[in-house]
Structure 1
Amino acid sequence: MTTAQEFWETFYSERDQVWSGRPNPLLVREAERLTPGSALDIGCAEGGDAVWLAKRGWRVLGVDVSQVALDRALQHAFDAGVEISVERHDLKATFPEGEYDLVSAQFLHSPVEEDGERNSILKRASRAVAPGGYLIIGGHAGAPSWSEHQDYCFPTTKDVLDHLKLTDNWIVVTDEIVERPLVGPDGQEETRKDNVLTVKRLL
């Protein structure tokens, strides 16, 4: 069986650049109203979100299982004239230390994900949120028609909340489904639904 690290190292090594370098719109919408502090970006990939946060004054630690992706994130930050820190973690095994004013988990989906792995990672992410801090989770609500991953079970925000089992020390700030236009590899035009969940730790 292919490990997460093997899969993602291969995924990023096959191309010089995979993602656009722009931040995820769901993160931008949720985080632009927040006061900068310390931020943890889990599954940071090539650093689009981490660099955007750093430009806004956040002290960012980006985490990914792929060293290729992390090297590109550092280069992206250098090119943008900002500093970020990175650490390589297979998040089902190890997790960054400390607490953060913002923990971001954007589109933490994986074809090699094991049962319950994402839920476990997000639970650990919630434990990394400092008092007064936020956890922002963005995810796909389904696969486009041309995707080979039609059988992937995309969790709803209710699914995520049920597994997080947050206490009364938390409040839900945002719980929404967002639709956006999407164009496929052969020009197919569709609308894709994503979900966004933002929760705040009070104490």
Structure 2
Amino acid sequence: MPSEKYLIGSGALLQWALAAWAEVAPDSVLHPVDIGQDQDYRFNLGALPALADADTTAFVAWGPQFLNFRRLELMGELKSRGVKMPPLICRGALVASGARIGENCMVGAGAIVAAHCDIAYNAWIGTAARLEYGVKIGASAWVEAGVFIGAEASIGSHATLGGHVDIAAGVRVGKRCTVEVPGCYRSDIAVGTHHLATLGTPVVILNG
């Protein structure tokens, strides 16, 4: 009997996830669930099915809204119901056998994840991103397409790295950072630091 998978999300990203899972799990029965949020950013959790079957799995397809906390909220709702959430490793991604990929992670097509990388749960590794040896990615981090992360660098939980960002080997990017200005970063980035394209200098949110 084919397994069933529920894909939770909205809009184009949900449709993309549906196509990606159809490629890597062609024998699974896929159920897209379009879940919206109101003007106060509350999810319509009533749209979620019961998901009582022990063989049912799920995946959350949601963007990096609010430092990826929204995607984490949906994941937490599903985990509270006992649902397993295996990672999506897209066709064409190269993941070394010694790498660890957590639940509800996504590794995009053409991405390279080298040996001894550790990607915590709910992280997103975009298309053609490259993670060299021993990189650590924190829970709910978001790495856009084409990002380069050098050997033994670490990216904190809920950090976001934008396109054309290079993180040099050994650099530590703190929790809840946003780095969207293209370039090579060779020094550690403190917790709560935001390199935003709309601002000329970095902004640090204390205790954030």
TM-score by shorter chain over 0.5:
no
Structure exhibiting the larger radius of gyration computed from Cα positions: 2
Higher relative contact order (CA 8 A, sep 6+): 1
Greater helix proportion: 1
TM-score (structure 2 length as normaliser)? 0.33
